[in-house]
Amino acid sequence: MTGFNPATDIPSQIDTLEKLAAWVGSALFNINPTVVVTEGVGYTERACQAGDYWVAADGKTRMIIRLSLEVSPDQASGPNKHWTYIQPLSNTAIPATFKQN
């Protein structure tokens, strides 16, 4: 599991859930670019994907993030919040560039 310290690892400029989501998606994609997971019978996909895409219909660039995270079977009967049952993708440390403003 890639652990982090919110006080020192998340840049201070991240002050909204949207910015946090972009940071998390980008960081997970950066450290797990080749992790592939099974999402169905005969169907595999990269566990993390993040990128910027130009949307001609509205003339804007959008960041699209896709994560496929394994959930522990304990979630079905456990008393904790849903996110506490998410399983790690890797044990890779967060690169220093993601910790800077």
The predicted structure's pLDDT at residue 46: 96
The predicted structure's pLDDT at residue 37: 96
Instruction: Count CA atoms closer than 13 A to 59's CA, side-chain side.
Output: 0
The predicted structure's pLDDT at residue 1: 77
Mean pLDDT over all residues of the chain? 95
**pLDDT of 24 above 80:** yes
* Average pLDDT score over residue span 1-20: 92
pLDDT, tens digit (0-9, with 9 covering 90-100), for 28-70:
999 999 999 999 999 999 999 999 999 999 999 999 999 999 9
- Return the domain boundaries, the chain: 33-68
**pLDDT of 75 above 90:** yes
If DSSP codes are grouped into helix, strand and coil, which group holds residue 51? Answer: strand
pTM, whole model, 2 decimals?
0.89
Cα separations in angstroms, 9 against 17, 45, 76, 94: 16, 28, 32, 8
